[in-house]
């Protein structure tokens, strides 16, 4: 009786071999580890728990924006309005709170405004088949213009409850302090990961990014999903704007100028393919931490211009785009 040879496993299922789709995310964590390790070796006190915590404290709003942008880029789209919507959110929060609105009502108004703007852009993109770049660029100008309709000057937020949330901290062992913004950001990350990986909507997002025509042939709700990701991005932009308001304690039409580029860079560095279909929320968070670590390194150095942050981000972004192209070619 002959014994047949064991069937050969597909290359991506061979035990001990890392699936290719995880390579960009792993590369991001490696870059973060190496960058942070270099800072720990070079600067005394760099590897302290508070410095690590500050990476989250100083970038909590960016993490939330990156979650929303991950949904959009996974479908192969782009959202250039996130920075402007965040600025509009700070202005709406400042105006309503200073007018005597209760905090919960001001927050709901901000979230409703951001979600509605995202929903409208998604509807235009889907029903009129317009490129997301153009529609979200128009949304960016619209949101900036609405900021200056509210006020052309910076508006300080004086609400005592809002200010207490902004200045309040949570004590951790070792004398480490954490802000409430970090908890909100981490909760958003967990919610985003849950939706993407454990819901029908999330699976459709990945399918839409892989091939919209194939997803449509499978009977998936591609239209609703395409509109939905922009609504999610608008909602995250509004929430990120609230966290930015907690960070700055003011509303201003020029807040978050260029932040949409930082968010896109963080998501791409985090391993999400610009063509859609592959990427993880955890990778986007790692991308934000890489950007924060680079900025912290330059701050510790003290003699370098802040523009070096942009230079390093540009180099990293180019490197990860090249890595993505290599992965896509090998898959083909």
- Check whether 12 has a pLDDT greater than 70: no
Average pLDDT, whole number, for the chain?
90
Mean pLDDT of 81-104: 97
- Check whether 320 has a pLDDT greater than 90: no
Q: Where are the alpha helices (DSSP H) in 99-252?
A: 103-127, 132-150, 160-167, 180-198, 200-210, 212-217, 222-248
**Element housing 174 (H / E):** none
- Residue 244's Cβ-count burial label (10 Å; 0-12, 13-18, 19+) is buried
Tokens at 85, concatenated: 């919507």
- Check whether 137 has a pLDDT greater than 60: yes
* pLDDT range class, residue 26, cuts 50, 70, 90: confident
Mean pLDDT of 58-65: 97
Query: Which is higher by pLDDT, 212 or 16?
Result: 212
- Check whether 27 has a pLDDT greater than 90: no
Tell me the per-residue pLDDT of 260-302, one tens digit each, with 9 for 90 and over. 999 999 999 999 988 899 899 999 999 999 999 999 988 888 7
pLDDT of residue 8: 44
- Check whether 14 has a pLDDT greater than 80: no
Phi first, then psi, for residue 279 (nearest 5°) are 155, 160
In this prediction, what percent of the chain has a pLDDT beyond 70?
92
Topology adopted by domain 20-331: ABC transporter involved in vitamin B12 uptake, BtuC (1.10.3470)
Q: Which residues contact 37 (CB under 8 A, 6 or more apart)?
A: none
Mean pLDDT of 22-31: 86
pLDDT of residue 332: 56
Tell me the per-residue pLDDT of 140-149, one tens digit each, with 9 for 90 and over. 999 999 999 9
pLDDT of residue 330: 64
- Check whether 179 has a pLDDT greater than 80: yes
CB 319 within 8 A of CB 28: no
- Residue 320's Cβ-count burial label (10 Å; 0-12, 13-18, 19+) is buried
Looking at the DSSP assignment, which residues form a beta bridge with residue 103?
Answer: none
Would you kindly state where each structural domain of the chain is located, as residue ranges? 20-331
Count the residues in the chain.
332
């Amino acid at each position: 009786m002959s014994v047949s040879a064991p069937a050969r496993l597909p290359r991506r299922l061979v035990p001990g071999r890392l699936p290719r789709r995880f390579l960009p995310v792993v590369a991001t964590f490696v870059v973060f580890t190496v960058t942070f390790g270099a800072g720990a070796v070079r600067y005394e006190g760099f590897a302290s728990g508070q410095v690590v915590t500050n990476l989250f404290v100083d970038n909590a709003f960016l993490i939330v924006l990156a979650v929303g942008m991950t949904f959009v880029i996974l479908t192969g789209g782009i959202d250039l309005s996130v920075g402007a919507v965040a600025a509009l959110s700070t202005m709406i929060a400042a105006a309503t709170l200073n007018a005597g609105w209760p905090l919960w009502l001001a927050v709901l108004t901000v979230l409703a405004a951001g979600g509605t703007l995202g929903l409208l852009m998604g509807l235009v993109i889907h029903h009129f088949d317009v490129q997301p770049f153009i529609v979200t660029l128009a949304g960016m100008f619209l949101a900036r213009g609405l900021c200056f309709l509210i006020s052309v000057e910076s508006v300080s937020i004086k609400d005592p409850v809002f200010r207490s949330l902004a200045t309040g901290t949570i004590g951790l062992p070792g004398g480490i302090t954490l802000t409430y913004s970090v908890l909100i950001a981490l909760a958003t990350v967990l919610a985003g990961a849950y939706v993407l990986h454990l819901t029908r909507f999330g699976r459709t997002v990945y399918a839409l990014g892989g091939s919209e025509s194939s997803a449509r042939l499978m009977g998936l709700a591609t239209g609703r999903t395409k509109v939905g990701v922009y609504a999610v991005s608008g909602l995250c932009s509004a929430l990120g704007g609230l966290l930015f308001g907690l960070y700055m304690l003011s509303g201003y039409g020029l807040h978050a100028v260029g932040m949409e580029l930082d968010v896109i860079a963080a998501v791409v560095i985090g391993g999400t393919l610009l063509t859609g279909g592959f990427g993880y929320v955890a990778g986007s968070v790692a991308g934000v931490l890489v950007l924060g670590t680079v900025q912290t390194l330059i701050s510790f150095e003290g003699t370098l211009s802040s523009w070096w942050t942009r230079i390093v981000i540009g180099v990293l972004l180019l490197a990860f785009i090249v890595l993505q192209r290599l992965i896509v070619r090998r898959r083909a």
